Amino acid sequence: MGKILVTGGAGFIGSHLIDELVKRSFKVKTLDIFEKQVHKDGKPDYLNKGCEYIEGDIRDERILKRALKDVDIIFHFAAQVGVGQSMYEIHRYVDHNTLGTANLLNFIVKNKIKLRKLIVASSMSIYGEGGYKCKSCGEVSCDIRPEAQLLKRDWEMRCPNCEAQVESIKIPTVGLRFFNVYGPRQSLSNPYTGVCAIFSSMIKDNRNPTVYEDGAQTRDFINVRDIVVANMLVMEKDEADYGTYNVGTGRPVPVLDIADILIKLYGKKVRPEIVNKFRVGDIRHCFADISKIKKLGFMPSVGLEEGLAELVEWGRSQATDSFTNAADKELEKMGLKI
């Protein structure tokens, strides 16, 4: 077996995957640009010494030539992250994420590289609002909540036919689509890394965590250790080939609950600040249908409080920045926060 390449392997999820691959005695290397927004202090000290690190840009074919030498499995995690930021830094996100991926695929095809498997990290964001059920109209497809509705502080989804409040249902899956990943090594200095890290940074800094809307919006929070298990599973199982799988817990958790749990774990005398504001484009409820990946043998094993306790332990050793104010101002400037 040749080497395994993890693009973006110095990042939050990729670094945990590399630890597991090295532990299992695979020959591993990574290509990472060491993005300043994520690694503000340079190369992190958790990098695994059993992995070969190549610093460079996936859009550079000269770098790809070195990175793909003797590789037969690729985990492609290299990407800019942050849904809100992607709405106003469009060129940067398309350039890195879409064209970067295209450059990787083009290089593989053009140079006839014989890969055994390519595993691509996708996201829950592709689903939008997903499916809903109306008591009168049955299953319905809802568009993004209109701004006029949000301005009235009417947060829940409404039926596009009769305007009654609808109930969220699990999304039928149609590759690994990660839901809200959290855990150690999640950057506390990047305002686009995820709500668990954002809350952690604010709570640790004795600030009230800001909760948008009414806090009852739900997400599917999955620990990075379970993400690693899913990646190893699809790498090793031939029956996973050519499939696309949701990777989450299948359990919707209100965002306000996350703030409450983290405050308790940090032992701080702060409280969630429900601001009754909203960010344009935010979906109301999003959680995974994991029935497809369960058939491969996947079952998330890390409980929410257990996993958040690990994040808190990591967070206690990390410096914090008051980055959220700057990020909020950017969203307001671009008309994306009201």
pLDDT tens-place string over residues 190-222 = 777 788 989 998 999 999 999 999 999 999 999
Contact between 179 and 220 (Cβ < 8 Å): yes
How far apart CA 32 and CA 313 sit, in angstroms, is 26
In a domain, 283, yes or no: no
Question: How many CB atoms neighbour CB 301 within 10 A?
Answer: 12
pLDDT band at 328 (very low <50, low <70, confident <90, very high): low
In a domain, 120, yes or no: no
User: String of b and e for 35-48 (b: at least 16 CB within 10 Å)?
Assistant: bebbbeeeeeeebb
H-helix or E-strand containing 84? helix 83-86
Give mean pLDDT, residues 159-169.
Answer: 89
How far apart CA 3 and CA 51 sit, in angstroms, is 10
In a domain, 149, yes or no: yes
H-helix or E-strand containing 19? helix 12-23
3-class SS of residue 123: strand
Number of domains in the chain: 1
In a domain, 142, yes or no: yes
Encoded amino acid at 228, one letter: V
In a domain, 144, yes or no: yes
Contact between 136 and 91 (Cβ < 8 Å): no
Contact between 191 and 324 (Cβ < 8 Å): yes
In a domain, 276, yes or no: no
Give mean pLDDT, residues 53-68.
Answer: 92
In a domain, 53, yes or no: no
Structure tokens at 42: 């340079």
Examine the pLDDT at 45 and tell me if it is beyond 90: no
In a domain, 146, yes or no: yes
**DSSP conformational letter for 36:** T
The residue segments making up the domain with residue 135 are: 131-167
Give mean pLDDT, residues 150-163.
Answer: 91
How far apart CA 63 and CA 77 sit, in angstroms, is 16
DSSP of 234-298: HHH-GGGTT--EEES-S--EEHHHHHHHHHHHHT-S---EE----BTT--SB-----HHHHTTT-
- Strand runs (DSSP E) across 26-175, as ranges? 28-32, 51-55, 71-76, 117-123, 131-134, 138-141, 167-168
Q: Please tell me whether the overall predicted TM-score, pTM, comes out greater than 0.85 for this model.
A: no
